[in-house]
Structure 1
Amino acid sequence: MNDSAQIETTDGEESTSLYQRILNDIRGKIVSGAWAPGYRIPFEHELTVQYDCSRMTVNKALSQLAAAGLIERRRRSGSFVRSPRSQAAVLEITDIRIEVEALGLPYRYALEQRRERRSQPNDAERLSPVCPKKLVELNCLHYAGTRPFCVEHRLISLETVPDASVETFQEIAPGPWLIGRVPWSTAEHRISAEGADSLMAAGLDIDEGAPCLVIERRTWTADLPVTYARFIYAGVSHSLVARFEPS
């Protein structure tokens, strides 16, 4: 189902714009956190009355939200906001704090820079082809003991996550903040090896040219971009492990 597809109904009165309004209203309440995970969405007949439309139009909107992973539909119980998903098929989406503490080392987070800005042409390559107009850009450092563990560069869409405009990210890293507030439906990881440039070397306290492991992550909620993140680790001290079972 495409958001812009015409919805056929028994009386022919419901339009695409009404379907889109229902979809956007519910999605907006979920993404903003107004409807927390586990919240029961009004029943179909209640939404039919609220929007003065056919039950088929409501059902189509809820089906789209379920397909996007934002809600869970339970037979005879109704529809509920899904809990944020915490892992991808190949690489888990985890809190870097957990990675550090698994090594038996104390964790520390530091925000290096935060700024709000308008998007630029190259942001579309990183975040989404349909790039939001306003972003929060963050540069962060994660420590394991006294040593830098990971350099993080992140973009957050203010159109999808407007609450990011009032969060300073001084006390909490953007990763766990987003996981706790924005249910995501799709994630993409890109993993590469790079030699440290001057900025990477300075951030990780390593020599220029030293091997680094780079993980780039993009996440979406339904068709809306949420965030782009680039994590840089010193290659000599970091590796990725994934365990699989046959399907």
Structure 2
Amino acid sequence: MEATETTPSKPAAPQSGKANSLHERIVSDITGRIVSGSWQPGHRIPFEHELAAEYDCSRMTVNKALAQLARSGMVERRRRSGSFVRRPHSQAAVLQIHDIRSEVEALGLPYRYQLLARQVRRANADDRERLGLGASPRVLEIASLHFAGARPFCDENRLINLGAVPEAENEGFEGNAPGPWLVAKIPWSVAEHRIHAAAADAALASALDIRPGTPCLVVERQTWSAEQPVTQARFTYPGDGHVLVARFTP
């Protein structure tokens, strides 16, 4: 009988590269659905076995992807309940003039600003109280929304003292938020923050896409330049999505 020579078969190539690429694809796909607004905060993400079947991979790969999304703050994992889209949760320094765009981008989400209303008028009693004015100058009132991805992130209502910043009257603020514009335009010497909680009324609930009565965090900021009031702004955040931080030394 003629002898035949056999060649040992080569071991299968390691699957780590495939697993890594699948893991990255799952992270990218879920991130895209969250950022686009397709999956809203509170939406339950498919269970691990469902995602494993969809991507034809192991549950270990899916678990790794969900763990990464949880660490980034996009997903909240609840024992026995599954994984859910988390509302963006930001931090801001109490003792700083912070930029909302920076807050949003720190979350890894795209930022968008929308002007809702703009009105120049003679200051009324409420305006004078907010700005601390004795006389009745003209003011500019601006209402706007800041977005994190597809979701409203913060409602802003701002008064600008046109006696201190007359050039603001000719600025449309359609593409740029008034806060950074003012910081670049006029130096402030004193700033004050007032922080309180409030329940969302119907108008605010509609703007922030939350239910009426939802607890909100309100940050009121006023700035002065050489003892002259410049602006007073009221920033309202959904209460479960924002933290204020102060760090100081003796």
The TM-score range, normalised by the shorter chain, is 0.5 to 0.7
Whether contact under 8 Å (1:132, 1:157) holds in the other structure is no
1:185 and 2:173 equivalent?
A: no
Q: Which residue of 2 aligns with 1:54?
A: none
- Unaligned ranges ≥5, structure 2: 1-92
1:196 and 2:200 equivalent?
A: yes
Q: Which residue of 2 aligns with 1:122?
A: 126
Q: 1:156 aligns with which of 147, 160, 167?
A: 160
| 1:155 partner amino acid | L
Q: 1:93 aligns with which of 88, 92, 97?
A: 97
Q: 1:217 aligns with which of 213, 221, 227?
A: 221
Residues in 2 aligned to 1:94 and 1:131: alpha-carbon distance in whole angstroms: 30
Residues in 1 aligned to 2:119 and 2:127: alpha-carbon distance in whole angstroms: 15
1:241 and 2:238 equivalent?
A: no
1:165 and 2:163 equivalent?
A: no
Whether contact under 8 Å (2:144, 2:157) holds in the other structure is yes
- Unaligned ranges ≥5, structure 1: 1-88
| 2:238 partner amino acid | A
Q: Please report how far the alpha carbon of residue 132 of structure 1 lies from its aligned counterpart in structure 2 after TM superposition.
A: 4.8
Normalised to the residue count of structure 2, the TM-score between the two structures is 0.61
Q: Please report how far the alpha carbon of residue 242 of structure 1 lies from its aligned counterpart in structure 2 after TM superposition.
A: 1.6
Whether contact under 8 Å (2:113, 2:146) holds in the other structure is yes
| 1:238 partner amino acid | H
1:137 and 2:147 equivalent?
A: no
1:227 and 2:217 equivalent?
A: no
Whether contact under 8 Å (1:132, 1:159) holds in the other structure is no
| 2:201 partner amino acid | D
Task: Specify the SS of the correspondent of 2:125.
Answer: coil
Residues in 1 aligned to 2:105 and 2:225: alpha-carbon distance in whole angstroms: 29
Whether contact under 8 Å (2:144, 2:155) holds in the other structure is yes
Task: Specify the SS of the correspondent of 1:200.
Answer: helix
Normalised to the residue count of structure 1, the TM-score between the two structures is 0.62
Identity %: 58
Residues in 2 aligned to 1:214 and 1:90: alpha-carbon distance in whole angstroms: 12
| Distance verdict in 2 for CA 1:201–1:131, change over 3 Å | farther
Task: Specify the SS of the correspondent of 1:93.
Answer: coil
Q: Please report how far the alpha carbon of residue 231 of structure 1 lies from its aligned counterpart in structure 2 after TM superposition.
A: 0.2
| Distance verdict in 2 for CA 1:124–1:180, change over 3 Å | same
| 2:200 partner amino acid | A
Residues in 2 aligned to 1:224 and 1:111: alpha-carbon distance in whole angstroms: 26
Task: Specify the SS of the correspondent of 2:244.
Answer: coil
Taking the TM superposition and a 5 Å limit, the aligned residue runs for 1:58-73 are none
Q: Please report how far the alpha carbon of residue 130 of structure 1 lies from its aligned counterpart in structure 2 after TM superposition.
A: 2.1
| 1:152 partner amino acid | E
| 1:219 partner amino acid | T
Q: Please report how far the alpha carbon of residue 91 of structure 1 lies from its aligned counterpart in structure 2 after TM superposition.
A: 2.3
Task: Specify the SS of the correspondent of 1:239.
Answer: strand
Q: 1:106 aligns with which of 110, 119, 133?
A: 110
Whether contact under 8 Å (1:196, 1:208) holds in the other structure is yes
